[in-house]
Structure 1
């Protein structure tokens, strides 16, 4: 067989395998699609340092980069399988079976799929093996002069695979999440968050707006595909070390006295000066009320939450009893799908990996000795209180400023609150910045400072002090294991 046809045989067999698995997964659960299951398994096996590198380097595109990298690797393997099978289909068939076994293993180890989900990788294996051997025979018959139909066979296989893949994606997305969100209508809290006062931000000077829109709110999670849940079918199980286990439906939560709170969430992967911090008005019910009704037993010290996609987080029980929310709304509307619809946890003062479980379906009252959340065995700290931090939003790094210089930025220290931000230029004395209006101790605080600087290059640094008197650490430490530290600095030029 000619090399070109051999390589194409491998690629089309791969396409047929992935498409067949994706189509079957549309009926058994899209997470069982072999391509997504292997990707999720790769995320689960990623060490902390590599995960941190991916987030730092690619930001919210880390999952797209993973999927693209997988596509390149699989394509290379498929081409190689075809090339080593120019004389016999056996070597390529072995490669197809090996990839199929990997897909089966990935699905069987996923916590968010049922037993029937194994049908998806089995279909993928069968389709890939059949397509490879069928196209191999067709190509060999053509080259032996017995037929001249391999071109047609290749085109038909490609068309059928593409159609199956598109159908799988369409059917997999058939859950009408947006229809469910629209049916909820307005969420009217019994207790509203205070109005954001004028002067809470300095947008004209370069800070973000105080309230972050759903589109701009940072998203860091382990889900390759956003779970598609309808509020009408969702339920939250509360169990473990409680006297009265219970199950709450969406309507039961909505029927309670809802509270609205303005809360800043922060990702532990945020580098010094990084963007992974956002603020919104969340609407929901207090976790403490639910747990006290369930009757927490003596000795419990952890709330272990589980997402629909299998992610888990362990939160200090005393902290969530005091401050945590089961949120169903964000900025005046039901949660967006990518931010946890129908419900998520929001706990001010803790980094998200131990507190902010999206698409939450299970709350287990337990102990830290008994259960570990997703990121703990991967090298992250068990308890993760948010550190006092600040960043410079303007001037931008290596930017140019004309005329009088305004340095502006953001500081946070949930749930202690920000008391002071200081700025210094070129290693000189610290100067106290003007603070924006203080909204609450669970939110960020904006700041600004006008400077009269000579033309030329300059470097500014900032540091915050919280209301407990703790000043932001100077030592520069990476996010692992419990959040980055260090003073943010920016170099720029005054013209």
Structure 2
């Protein structure tokens, strides 16, 4: 007798594999549904990002420092990967404990959904309406879990109808996730609409001989793609220029509300500025240079009228990050930047507008996506990193770095060229010295200077015998201060110490 292929039989317990698959697909459906709605409302309302961003804010400062020190700009990727692994484990466990009944999995899905709702409601960069994203996530997670559990609870025949339903679910999850990501990307259209930024006062051309890339130093100007980035958020805020408003208030004569079009109409200048991150270890990579286009902050603030006695410009990003900058530095050389290397700011570097104050580490001077500026005293409010024990006023320290030869490299015989960069914004670099194997110091050749607010390349030639050598470098700034040998870690207000590299000269 031929087997009936259209009849399905029931079972009393799911197989281990099917139960895990049900749990994982339900969690993925919940996350992508929330991501899709967040793409329509506010990308930061995505439950995955909201929970992750809250976790970042609640992480103790020593753990944050460890993450930046060990993972650098990949710290957020590590967190995302860790969250994904935890969620997949929770999903698998939810499926396993639901092999007989969907109730345990429904409870787990509800708890996860509730966590997303709480995260969105307590984030500084979300509104009440944004809770629709995690609510949708909760409903999708519970609904998909119950439906897939019912599908999996029936053994399917060789026509594979059950398998097709699972595949349709996977396809729907993928489409929802991609759609949510695409919906959040309209900021690029806004950047394009800004058009060309033509400064009334362009930056002077970079002189020939300002860098030594052929010897291993970076190019003098860092491309936007390669410019270093350190953020506290998992996702880049997507703020359109047409929605942008900057509020200026506090200890001022007149409160201002400036739209992007207002800033764009002001007299634009272009300035070549080297920025440095306080998390940079001795010899580290978190230093970059760009031609920033914007309006001097003293011009922006002229109409507001900063009152005497104001000590701090307390600025706030659209994602809730805060920064405290000394008013004297803001008025002296601060820039409200809207362009970078000839184009509107990239989204990851603060579009539509950001602060840039040369000479201060970024955590006290470089608020991206800045939407609020309040003038007050340092005692009135503490910024994001100050609450976590970092420095209050963080001038950039005099530092230098060897770029070539790299550590443990092997170089050819003959004279050895040592090349690198030094910086001491806004004081400028007066001298760089190198020494080999604790021998006498040799003065390096400095590249052409662009300004005291930028880095300066250098090179030196040494006669080294074949074998292993260690070379140190130190810089002296234009105030006469010579870089200290004493090693201190980056936190709370910047690393110090001489950078060195060890390499082998061939015989």
- TM-score (structure 1 length as normaliser): 0.95
- Any idea what the Cα deviations from partners look like across 1:141-199, whole Å, max 9, x if unmatched? 439x9x985434323322322222222222222x2x33333333322222222222222
What's the offset of the Cα at 1:56? 3.1
Provide the rounded CA distance (Å) in 2 between the counterparts of 1:277 and 1:172.
30
Q: Which moved more, 1:52-61 or 1:358-367?
A: 52-61
Query: Equivalent residues in 2 for 1:378-417 (5 A)?
Result: 378-403=388-413, 404-417=415-428
- Any idea what the Cα deviations from partners look like across 1:189-224, whole Å, max 9, x if unmatched? 222222222221122211111111111111111232
Per the alignment, in what secondary structure is the counterpart of residue 388 of structure 2? coil
The residue aligned with 1:466 is 477
Per the alignment, in what secondary structure is the counterpart of residue 417 of structure 2? strand
The residue aligned with 1:332 is 342
Query: Equivalent residues in 2 for 1:277-316 (5 A)?
Result: 277-316=287-326
Q: Which moved more, 1:447-456 or 1:222-231?
A: 222-231
Per the alignment, in what secondary structure is the counterpart of residue 477 of structure 1? coil
- Any idea what the Cα deviations from partners look like across 1:210-257, whole Å, max 9, x if unmatched? 111111111111232222222233221111111111112222222222
With over 3 angstroms needed to count, the CA separation of the structure-2 counterparts of 1:122 and 1:448, relative to structure 1, is same
- Any idea what the Cα deviations from partners look like across 1:283-342, whole Å, max 9, x if unmatched? 111112222321112331111111122221111111111110001111222212221111
Structure 1 unaligned segments of length 5 or more: list them.
none
The residue aligned with 2:332 is 322
1:441 aligns with 2:444: no
The residue aligned with 1:476 is 487
The residue aligned with 2:3 is none
The residue aligned with 1:359 is 369
Q: Which moved more, 1:373-382 or 1:54-63?
A: 54-63
**Alpha-carbon RMSD:** 1.8
Provide the rounded CA distance (Å) in 2 between the counterparts of 1:187 and 1:149.
58
Q: How many residues align?
A: 491
1:426 aligns with 2:418: no
With over 3 angstroms needed to count, the CA separation of the structure-2 counterparts of 1:457 and 1:364, relative to structure 1, is same
Provide the rounded CA distance (Å) in 2 between the counterparts of 1:139 and 1:189.
64
Query: Equivalent residues in 2 for 1:40-119 (5 A)?
Result: 40-119=53-132
Contact 1:49 / 1:480 at 8 angstroms: preserved in 2? no
Provide the rounded CA distance (Å) in 1 between the counterparts of 2:143 and 2:242.
41
Contact 2:250 / 2:376 at 8 angstroms: preserved in 1? yes
Contact 1:242 / 1:294 at 8 angstroms: preserved in 2? yes
The residue aligned with 1:120 is 133
1:370 aligns with 2:380: yes
Contact 1:142 / 1:148 at 8 angstroms: preserved in 2? no
The residue aligned with 2:251 is 241
The residue aligned with 1:493 is 504
1:254 aligns with 2:275: no
With over 3 angstroms needed to count, the CA separation of the structure-2 counterparts of 1:141 and 1:36, relative to structure 1, is same
Q: Which moved more, 1:43-52 or 1:238-247?
A: 43-52
The residue aligned with 1:172 is 184
Contact 2:444 / 2:459 at 8 angstroms: preserved in 1? yes
Contact 1:18 / 1:34 at 8 angstroms: preserved in 2? yes
Provide the rounded CA distance (Å) in 2 between the counterparts of 1:5 and 1:437.
67
Query: Equivalent residues in 2 for 1:12-27 (5 A)?
Result: 12-27=25-40
With over 3 angstroms needed to count, the CA separation of the structure-2 counterparts of 1:182 and 1:155, relative to structure 1, is closer
Per the alignment, in what secondary structure is the counterpart of residue 232 of structure 1? helix
Structure 2 unaligned segments of length 5 or more: list them.
1-13
From 131, 153, 158, give the equivalent of 2:165: 153
Q: Which moved more, 1:58-67 or 1:470-479?
A: 58-67
Per the alignment, in what secondary structure is the counterpart of residue 290 of structure 2? strand
Provide the rounded CA distance (Å) in 1 between the counterparts of 2:465 and 2:154.
80
Contact 1:48 / 1:380 at 8 angstroms: preserved in 2? no
Contact 2:199 / 2:270 at 8 angstroms: preserved in 1? yes
The residue aligned with 2:282 is 272
Q: Which moved more, 1:88-97 or 1:115-124?
A: 88-97
- Any idea what the Cα deviations from partners look like across 1:357-402, whole Å, max 9, x if unmatched? 1111111112211112111212211211111111000000000110
Provide the rounded CA distance (Å) in 2 between the counterparts of 1:438 and 1:157.
60
Contact 2:184 / 2:238 at 8 angstroms: preserved in 1? no
The residue aligned with 2:237 is 227
1:450 aligns with 2:432: no
